[in-house]
Structure 1
């Protein structure tokens, strides 16, 4: 078991020996090896077995395939995963991945992979899901098991929270698992979402993201009237209408938001255009795709384009942004991050959406903190630093112990 002589504080934590170091690497490798781009069942099975074998927690596999677990402080009986009578702090990840490259498949093909390839070299693990995000899931599992929830009591008359763990399915395809769990009543009071996968931290430091952007994927559909191209005035050119819509999008201002002193700026870009049927036909249809990175509480006014004749707006996806709703909680996690490393972490923002957006929208105070480094997630060279995973373990364990000890003061 990974131990620490000073739960919840003190000098920088260190892994206690090679056995502990090896346990994290071994667990991460085992999870990464299990294919989960098309069917997350086997990966969920492995996480569920580990939790049942290594912890005394209440463990559940819900109907969507999410794996949920809950620990209670000493002397408090374990009960239902969704007990909303008690405060809860959750460590959150996901075990689905994007499809691997053939070079990342150890046995079988991408379509029917028996296992993924995992390679360890130069202090890193290489393979699909190492950075996004089975390495961090392994660190969460160990921290969930090892965290000392006894502490000094809740302090100031408060109630020490339960510690929950959640590994969702479907994060890469729109957050289906997180939404299903929330709809089924899993809404912790506080959550640390262990997503790294993009380089939102400074070199050599693991920062704490207190906000991230969302993503709204939209289509502007321009309709016209077909005619022979030799008589263009007899029709209405849908491409021209779409071009006018592009001009509207180009001129829209980018919304901004500020969270705990950190500023986020939205972005908006036309990324695809599709229209026309033949070189000699005035097109009756043209479609443009718009990628919008949203900020908390604001959206670009895409509806302005629909004031043009023949232009309609359709929203295909709207992944919510996240803003931490509890300053004191954000500071607690930052203190845990400071204790866990020699560098100086800060509150930062993350440019990409995570399941924290769904949780925050449901009322959970969230931060995001994971192996944020240039690990090239979603590529055939995806990797994660073992040292950074160890640092994340220390942060997650320290966060659980700090929140347990100080909950009455928040």
Structure 2
């Protein structure tokens, strides 16, 4: 339900965010509000309260712990910009602290959520308040439950509950990308590959069929598999297929009649979800069963749209492919070209020594500000 139909969060119990201090200070403020997946209410309340106090130009809605804020300026084009509010569990890495990187000498902010992805959220919130009259209409989205199973995603839930709020010509997800553009994303599939056998006493093993031994054929095939490099719209994606879990066995003196191998297949966005499923089923055609337990399609780079091309120019660096899966896939499924762009090194996401360079926060803010403030009309020839 929209919070415009309900009471705003209580100021007495809501953490205070001050967007006027700029995106760097706002990063510290956001990170110091714990928001492990499932516990995003306090930070969502803080975001909503801040917007209601500092951004009267935005129309604000709320779905659970997802906050959506829109401009309604009648612009010809609309851009959606999203970021998730949750983090993985804290491990003695809050509150954040300011440090100097001993290798590069650059100023950094250290602590949980700095990379994934509260620095990106801080950039977005500061811009949402400052850009009263952007060149395009904007839909800002801050959502819950990104770091857990995809069926819990606050973004997915809000898209189902309020599809009318998600129309856009282009979308940006603030995932950490070192302040450069990463186009689209790989798809991801998990399959449970089952091998069957016949139980027998291990003293008379010839009376049975060892399902774990049968699995060796599958594991050898996986070990020999050479993942493809696939170029999609000018960006190179790397695929991968690996066993990530194995389960089998009955007792120390029993020949096992079952072995299960869980396989994760990362596939380039040139493949559809159905094509990925067919590839996996064919690859394991000699298994007794192949059950698809999780499937999320990829997203093409989304860089051929004029809005995207002008964004690339504003960032000033060549885009690369996003090799992991991100929520750009959800926008792509709606027919909205989408890219990843945010401060922070994705290799440090979820690490106990998560840290983000201050300069990347500032440059990401500057690039987005310049692009959203500039005319998106093609030049007159």
TM-score range, shorter chain: 0.7 to 0.9
Q: Structure 1's 174 and 355: CA in aligned 2 closer, same or farther, altered over 3 A?
A: farther
In the alignment, structure 1 residue 46 sits paired with structure 2 residue 71 = no
Alpha-carbon offset, residue 146 of structure 1: 2.0
Alpha-carbon offset, residue 251 of structure 1: 4.9
Higher relative contact order (CA 8 A, sep 6+): 1
The separation in 1 between residues aligned to 2:210 and 2:180, in whole angstroms, is: 51
When the two structures are superposed, what TM-score results if normalisation uses the length of structure 1? 0.77
Alpha-carbon offset, residue 130 of structure 1: 0.8
Q: Is the 8 A contact 2:301 2:321 kept in 1?
A: no
The separation in 2 between residues aligned to 1:258 and 1:33, in whole angstroms, is: 40
Provide the residue aligned with 2:34 in structure 1: 35
Which residues of structure 1 form unaligned runs of 5+? 1-18, 78-85, 105-115, 152-160, 339-344
Q: Is the 8 A contact 1:217 1:317 kept in 2?
A: yes
Provide the residue aligned with 2:205 in structure 1: 232
Q: Is the 8 A contact 2:232 2:270 kept in 1?
A: no
In the alignment, structure 1 residue 314 sits paired with structure 2 residue 291 = yes
Provide the residue aligned with 2:11 in structure 1: none
In the alignment, structure 1 residue 192 sits paired with structure 2 residue 182 = no
Provide the residue aligned with 1:121 in structure 2: 99
Which residues of structure 2 form unaligned runs of 5+? 1-17, 101-106
The separation in 2 between residues aligned to 1:21 and 1:70, in whole angstroms, is: 19
Q: 1:206-236: per-residue Cα shift (whole Å, max 9, x none)?
A: 3211232232222212222211112223222
Alpha-carbon offset, residue 266 of structure 1: 0.6
Q: Is the 8 A contact 1:375 1:383 kept in 2?
A: no
Alignment match of 1:96 (pick from 77, 86, 98): 86
Any residues of structure 2 matched to 1:4-403 within 5 Å, and which? 22-37=21-36, 38-55=38-55, 56-63=57-64, 65-73=65-73, 76=74, 87-101=77-91, 103-104=92-93, 116-122=94-100, 123-147=107-131, 149=133, 151=135, 161-175=136-150, 176-183=153-160, 184-185=162-163, 186-196=166-176, 201=178, 206-252=179-225, 254-298=227-271, 299=276, 301-308=279-286, 311-327=288-304, 328-338=306-316, 345-373=317-345, 376-402=348-374
Q: Is the 8 A contact 1:21 1:390 kept in 2?
A: no
Q: Is the 8 A contact 1:91 1:165 kept in 2?
A: yes
State how many pairs are aligned.
343
The separation in 1 between residues aligned to 2:258 and 2:159, in whole angstroms, is: 39
Q: Is the 8 A contact 1:211 1:324 kept in 2?
A: yes
Alpha-carbon offset, residue 163 of structure 1: 0.8
Provide the residue aligned with 2:103 in structure 1: none
Q: 1:330-365: per-residue Cα shift (whole Å, max 9, x none)?
A: 211111212xxxxxx111112211111111122111
Q: 1:133-186: per-residue Cα shift (whole Å, max 9, x none)?
A: 0111010111122236355xxxxxxxxx41110011111114411211222302
The separation in 1 between residues aligned to 2:377 and 2:339, in whole angstroms, is: 16
The separation in 2 between residues aligned to 1:34 and 1:21, in whole angstroms, is: 18
Alpha-carbon offset, residue 375 of structure 1: 6.4
The separation in 1 between residues aligned to 2:358 and 2:208, in whole angstroms, is: 62
The separation in 1 between residues aligned to 2:87 and 2:49, in whole angstroms, is: 20
Q: Is the 8 A contact 2:19 2:129 kept in 1?
A: no
The separation in 2 between residues aligned to 1:305 and 1:234, in whole angstroms, is: 30
When the two structures are superposed, what TM-score results if normalisation uses the length of structure 2? 0.83
Considering only aligned residues, what root-mean-square deviation do their CA atoms show, in Å?
2.4
Provide the residue aligned with 1:108 in structure 2: none
Q: Is the 8 A contact 1:334 1:346 kept in 2?
A: yes
Select between 118-127 and 213-222 the one with higher mean Cα deviation.
213-222
